[in-house]
């Protein structure tokens, strides 16, 4: 996916972190509090929805402390560059994408140039990211669509973005949240895994849940202004601690409350 972030620095109660968690917690649970919710030790037995939501916000407050300044890990300066980089990031790492995009962006600085590009040249540039044939086809197709339908500009709505070749909801949410500041919650494998282990979602037992369903449920518990950074922090937590095969529970900031902690 597309996330980077520090683990020290900004106070966790700033405007991008737990400050808004307070309002969202009240909206989701019917409570109004003057402070961010406090995490309580995990308990055995059935957890009510109200208790789950309270725990969820308390755990997010801890993630805000652990990752105070999350950001997109893909290098970009324009919405088009982010759109291209996100399409390329499928089934590879952001670090690898960042090695090929400088050349790609230099040779094709706008949608018109990319739409007119030699497919073989594009494939040659993006070869290191894998699936280069399909990705080159998507890039040329979306560039052509941008030129013919949107005047060469990247649209700012989910419906318009997902109408472009190779662009699904996850890619659209990345672009909306990081290029335009429009609330978006990208759901990748890290988000699926972490929200499942934390039992933030009702279908946590299902290994392959519907990403759209997960997106809508998790977003319903948080203020829209938090959605993008929430996704960033869940991804960072998945990369740093909550690994797929061997989660580092001993050093996890959520160890005391996580239902899956060992």
C-alpha span between 68 and 233 (Å, rounded): 9
Enumerate domains of the chain plus CATH numbers. Answer: 49-70+185-257 (1.10.1670.10), 79-180 (1.10.340.30)
Which contacts qualify for 148-153: CB closer than 8 Å, 24 or more apart? 152/110, 152/111, 152/112, 153/79, 153/80, 153/111
Binding-site residue numbers for [4Fe-4S] cluster are: 242, 249, 252, 258
Q: Which entry of 11, 124, 137, 188 is annotated as an active-site residue?
A: 188
Please answer whether residues 214 and 257 qualify as being in contact, where contact means their C-beta atoms are separated by less than 8 angstroms. Answer: no
Query: Going by C-beta distance under 8 Å and a sequence separation of 6 or more, which residues neighbour residue 132?
Result: 123, 126
Residue 262 has what pLDDT? 84
Residue 45 has what pLDDT? 66
C-alpha span between 35 and 127 (Å, rounded): 50
**Whether 135 is catalytic:** no
Residue 32 has what pLDDT? 31
Q: Is 35 left (phi over 0), alpha (psi -120 to 50) or beta?
A: beta
Structure token digits, residue 151: 């005047």
Helix axes 227-240, 49-66, angle to 10 degrees: 70
Q: Which entry of 170, 223, 226, 229 is annotated as an active-site residue?
A: 170
Instruction: Name the 3-class secondary structure at 4.
Output: strand
Residue of 222, 261, 259 lying closest to 64 (CA atoms): 222
Structure token digits, residue 218: 């998790």
C-alpha span between 104 and 121 (Å, rounded): 10
Please answer whether residues 222 and 27 qualify as being in contact, where contact means their C-beta atoms are separated by less than 8 angstroms. Answer: no
H or E segment to which residue 97 belongs:
helix 94-107
Show pLDDT as tens, one digit a residue, over the chain (262 residues). Answer: 556 654 333 333 333 344 444 334 443 433 333 344 455 555 556 899 999 999 999 999 999 999 999 999 999 999 999 999 999 999 999 999 999 999 999 999 999 999 999 999 999 999 999 999 999 999 999 999 999 999 999 999 999 999 999 999 999 999 999 999 999 999 999 999 999 999 999 999 887 889 999 999 999 999 999 999 999 999 999 999 999 999 999 999 999 999 999 8
**Whether 248 is catalytic:** no
To the question of pTM greater than 0.95 for the whole model, the response is no
Sign of the Cα torsion 80, 82, 83, 88 reads positive
């Amino acid at each position: 996916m597309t996330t980077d972030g520090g683990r020290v620095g900004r106070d966790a109660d700033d405007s991008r972190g737990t400050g808004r968690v307070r309002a969202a917690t009240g909206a989701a649970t019917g409570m109004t509090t003057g402070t961010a919710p406090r995490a309580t030790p995990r308990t055995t037995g059935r957890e009510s929805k109200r208790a789950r939501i309270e725990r969820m916000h308390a755990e997010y407050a801890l993630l805000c402390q652990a990752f105070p300044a999350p950001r997109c890990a893909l290098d970009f300066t324009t919405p088009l560059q982010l759109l291209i980089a996100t399409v390329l990031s499928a089934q590879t790492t952001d670090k690898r994408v960042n090695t090929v995009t400088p050349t790609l962006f230099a040779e094709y600085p706008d949608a018109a140039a990319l739409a007119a590009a030699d497919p073989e040249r594009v494939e040659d540039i993006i070869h290191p990211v894998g699936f280069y044939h399909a990705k080159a086809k998507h890039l040329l197709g979306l560039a052509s669509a941008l030129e013919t339908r949107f005047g060469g500009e990247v649209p700012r709505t989910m419906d318009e973005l997902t109408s472009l070749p190779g662009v699904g909801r996850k890619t659209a949410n990345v672009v909306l949240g990081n290029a335009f500041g429009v609330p978006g919650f990208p759901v990748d494998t890290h988000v699926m895994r972490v929200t499942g282990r934390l039992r933030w979602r009702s279908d946590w037992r299902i290994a392959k849940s519907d990403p759209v369903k997960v997106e809508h449920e998790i977003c319903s518990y948080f203020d829209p202004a938090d959605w993008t950074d929430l996704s960033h922090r869940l991804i960072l937590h998945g990369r740093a601690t909550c690994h797929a095969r061997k989660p580092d529970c001993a050093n996890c900031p959520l160890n005391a409350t996580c239902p899956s902690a060992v």
